[in-house]
Each structure stands twice: as structure tokens, then as C-alpha cells.
Structure 1
Amino acid sequence: MSTAHPTELSYRSAVEADVPELVALVESAYRGDASRGGWTTEADHLDGQRTDENGVRQVIGGPDSVLLVVERAGEIVACCHLAHRGDHAYFGMFAVRPGLQGGGLGKEILAEAERRAREQWGVKEMRMTVINVREELIAYYVRRGYARTGELSPFPYGDERFGKPRRADLAFELLVKSL
């Protein structure tokens, strides 16, 4: 029996039964009108999907990979992906329910993800990629100790699994933080 306070967050690894709810969460945080309820929306830059059930299953089943499910009072409120990649961990698929964004949950979850990567894998660095035009989001991560590297990788134009771009200048910028 859990003794957690109802407002406290709990963390667990995602399982197959979580897939539909996690897809809905990620989509609601990044795409379409629902995403405009939070500040992490990509709806001005991308249409279409952010992920799908196969994409989430691949993350769950990947080697050296965990999709953390974040719950509060028994409800899924967020998720994030951690992958062990040699000397560093990769952080991605971070989604907080739009109506709960802006209240400090993201900061708390990011800190927990960093702690887990450091303690479970012994890595000294966390890396992530953010769409280069997402200045407000990049600034959020910079405030949390991530450094902009200026290193860009191409956006997968033509691969609708990642969305339908509304502009031609998208790329991913690598952000790095020493743990």
C-alpha cells in the first residue's frame, strides 16, 4: 500500500497496457488544439502526429531504454523517455498534460530523470534534441542547466511519423547538461 501524499508524483516504467494513454498524452501536449492549453505545443510548426502506438512500443521495448510514466493520485500526468547511450543518457518524449503545464511538474520530473540516469547508468551527461525554432522551450532547458551546442541534425521531412511540417527551416538542436 502506497503512503504517498495524493499530490506527490510516482514513477514507474511504462508497460504495454499504457500505450494508448501515453500516445494520447504525447499528442495532447504537442499537437492540435488540445496542445494549445499548455506552452509546449508544436502546433504552430507541425501538423499531424507526434508519435503513434508503434513508436511508443519501440521506446518501451528498446534496449537500455525506459519510458517513465509519471502518476499523481493514480492518474498519468506525464511521461519521458530515457535511453542509455554509452557515456551519456538521452532524454526525450517528454510530455506533461497541457492543463498541468507551468506549475513546476516539468522541472521536478526532469530532475528525477537526471537523477535516475546518473544513479542507474553512471552517466555524467544528459543529451536531448529540441526543434530549433522552439526558442521558449530551449530557454526553459537552458534555465535548467542545459547548454546549446549549435549542433543541428536535419528534421525528417517527408516522414509523417514525425509530423507534417508547416515551415521549411526545421532542424533539431542538441542540448547537453553535465550531471
Structure 2
Amino acid sequence: MESVTDLALTFRDATDGDVDELVALIESAYRGESSRAGWTTEADILEGQRTDPEGVLEVVRSPDSRLLTVEREGRIVACFQLEHRGEYAYFGMFAVSPALQGAGLGKTIIAEAERRAREAWGVREMHMTVISVREDLIAWYERRGYRRTGRRTPFPYGDERFGIPRRADLEFELLVKELS
């Protein structure tokens, strides 16, 4: 285990036993009334679930992917996925407890994710997708060095595993950052 001493954070690979806690964390950060305590809520654009135990377990068990937990004082307070995709790494399933959002935790976590992707796989780029109408979230990533590519993919309308859209203009935009 490695610690980031300035915030007393511990990063570790998620296990099958973490799945329920991780699903609860991800849901609390993005959906429902509890998500409104933080700024990453999607409650105004999507209802229903953000993920489910099967989806999280698939990431935990995938050979090309890592789902990392971020713990503070023995409690999971955040998580993120890193997936090796050849020339680049994909960053996803990023969630921070709503009660801790806005205090700099996300900046620390994304920097650690980038470091791990460079060191583990030697990749030169990090990719992610963000719902294109999430201007505040995209701006946050831009301040961390990610750039909009204009490349978009459709939102999976009709597949309730990803939520129930409250508007008809949702799509994902690819953001990319060159890693030094």
C-alpha cells in the first residue's frame, strides 16, 4: 500500500469484497438527492442507477483494468478505474464522496492515477469520456490539462444500466491529456 501523506490517503486495488461499498459511493456521488451535497451530481440530467454490482465487479476482475480505492482513516472515500488500452490509458469510474468534494481531493487523486498509468504501462496519454453537457466538470478537467477533442459517442439511451435520461441531447465527449 502507498500513502499520499499530505491528505493521509491510501490507494489500493479494489477486491470483490469492496463491490457493494463502491457501488454505494459511485451512486452517492452522481445520482439521487445525496449527490446534491457535492458538485459532480448528474441528478438533473439522469435518474436511475449510475452503475451496478455486476459492472463494478467486471472492472475489478478485468485483466487490463484496475479499480483503485482511495481510503482515508480506513474508509473508502473515492475510487477510480485505470484501463490499459495499448498506446493510452483510460480513466473512468471516478467518484469522490460528496461530503469531501471541493477540498482538493480530486486533484490529488487524478495526479496519482496519471502517475500510476505512466509507471505501470508507459503510456503517454490518458483518455476519458464525459457527458458533453457537463460543462462544469469538463472545465475542471481542462484545468488539470485535459483537452476536448470534439469526438463524441452516443449516450446508451434505452439501457437503464447507465441511467434514465431526463433530456434528449446526451452524448459522451472524449477528453485527452498528454502525460509527460
Partners of 1:87 and 1:125 within 8 A in 2:
yes
Distance 2:87 2:150 in 1: 20
* Secondary structure of the corresponding residue to residue 36 of structure 1: helix
Distance 2:178 2:134 in 1: 22
The 3 A distance-change label for structure 1 pair 40 and 56 is same
Structure 1 residue runs of 5 or longer lacking an equivalent are none
Partners of 1:31 and 1:46 within 8 A in 2:
yes
The 3 A distance-change label for structure 1 pair 5 and 151 is closer
Query: TM-score, structure 2 length as denominator?
Result: 0.96
Q: What corresponds to 2:49 in structure 1?
A: 49
> In the TM superposition, what is the alpha-carbon distance from 1:5 to its structure 2 partner?
5.8
Partners of 2:33 and 2:43 within 8 A in 1:
yes
The 3 A distance-change label for structure 1 pair 122 and 35 is same
Structural mapping, 1:74-93, within 5 Å: 74-93=74-93
Distance 1:111 1:166 in 2: 33
Q: What corresponds to 1:94 in structure 2?
A: 94
Residues 68-117 of structure 1: per-residue CA shift (max 9 Å, x gap): 10001111000000000000000001000000000000000000000000
Q: What corresponds to 1:10 in structure 2?
A: 10
Partners of 1:6 and 1:73 within 8 A in 2:
no
Deviates further, 151-160 or 6-15: 6-15
Distance 1:3 1:138 in 2: 28
* Secondary structure of the corresponding residue to residue 37 of structure 2: coil
Is 1:168 matched up with 2:144? no
> In the TM superposition, what is the alpha-carbon distance from 1:143 to its structure 2 partner?
0.2
User: One-letter code of the match for 1:138?
Assistant: I
Instruction: Report the RMSD for the aligned CA atoms in angstroms.
Output: 1.6
The 3 A distance-change label for structure 1 pair 2 and 65 is closer
Q: What corresponds to 2:60 in structure 1?
A: 60
Distance 1:148 1:164 in 2: 25
User: One-letter code of the match for 1:11?
Assistant: F
Distance 1:13 1:106 in 2: 18
Is 1:159 matched up with 2:159? yes
Residues 1-48 of structure 1: per-residue CA shift (max 9 Å, x gap): 999869411100000110000000000000000000000000000000
Structural mapping, 1:34-45, within 5 Å: 34-45=34-45
Q: What corresponds to 1:128 in structure 2?
A: 128
Distance 1:61 1:16 in 2: 8
How many residues are aligned here? 179
Structure 2 residue runs of 5 or longer lacking an equivalent are none
